[in-house]
Structure 1
Amino acid sequence: MKRHVLTESDVRQVAEGSRLTVPPGTIITPAARDAAAARRIEICRQSEDLARSVAIGADHAGYEMKERLKELLTQLGFSFYDFGTHDPRPVDYPDVAVKVAEAVSQGRFSRGIIIDGAGIGSCIAANKVPGVRAASCTDVATARNSREHNDANVLTLGARLITPETMREIVQVWLSTEVGAERHRRRVEKIMAIERKYLAH
């Protein structure tokens, strides 16, 4: 497995006085530690258990695919909590999406996966929760891009748009891909800075 290295440049992309969570096994350079101390940034290592924990949820349209997702996560060695729905009776997707998004935002789970009919409504709802970067993905390429370029922490899927096999491929790639080069981290931090700006009002 590829090991991550946290550099001084990475730290300087993070807002002063904030917390920076890094994956298990990350190598933190001495210069990165010095930069963090100077900028009052707390570096926290994500636990192995948390790194492999996923919050999941679906509306009635995504219920059957969610049940298949649970089997896949078990096969891949991930723990999960199912925020519903627990049967195919109609429910409103924003109610489920916000539960999953809040669980990720609060740090109770490292990532979240939400399934509805198209994957779009749940994505919009989840992105209203501070700290969430939800991406609606329809294939392996968008799944990889959402992680590598955007550090997406919530994946939304459309059960009416993809097959169960495509779901499996997307989820496996999404869970195994980490954020990429420094330029991507810098751009993600700019996204989060926009969020902080509007939360301050």
Structure 2
Amino acid sequence: MPECIVCGEYTKFNGGHCYDCYKKENNGKEVKLKDNAIIEDADDFNFDGGLDDKQWNYRYNMIKGRIAETLIQELFLSLGFNVFRYGMENTIPGIMELLKGVKSDVATEIRRMPDFVVQNPNTNEVFFVEVKFRKSGMFALKDLPKDYPYRNAYIILVSKKHIRCITVDELEEGKEITPTSKNYLGSRKEFELNKQVIIDFCNFAVKFFEGVE
């Protein structure tokens, strides 16, 4: 039975709060309830049952992606790298929300921007980094947007057990990430990363993504 992460009382979702604890953390602010689920932004909800399927999938996948991005950002920062958020969502917060459903060349280019620029403190070399989460632990050329322009980018794939890395050039050569491939992030000589630190962050990934679909 799902329990509140604060008091242990029943709540609708694992990892959530019961109504009373939610109110305490939000200074007693009243919230609307639908079948014991807490609703903060009525515009996102279908009151016949919460988020509609499209909104639910969009929010769920966005959260997974942001957790994976944060893991990789903190991994590089912990090893002394300079890390700069590069994607347009970081330059103009909220722009990706505005571009939902917009089909134009400019919107497409914005969506394709890599997540980070990272700089190796030992060599001062800089790299484009795109972070992806895949429960399957698989990534191939077909998973990139068509005509992806950042051919010198590194794709870092976070799965429920491993953190692997492949370049766009390698994908175009026919290589790919699979659950049994050996293209681990710690094997990339360009980054010179501490493998034990990567193992630590893999353990974080196991905790954060346990039960994720």
TM-score, normalising length: structure 2: 0.29
Larger gyration radius, structure 1 or structure 2: 2
TM-score, normalising length: structure 1: 0.30
Select the structure with the greater relative contact order (CA < 8 A; seq sep ≥ 6). Answer: 1
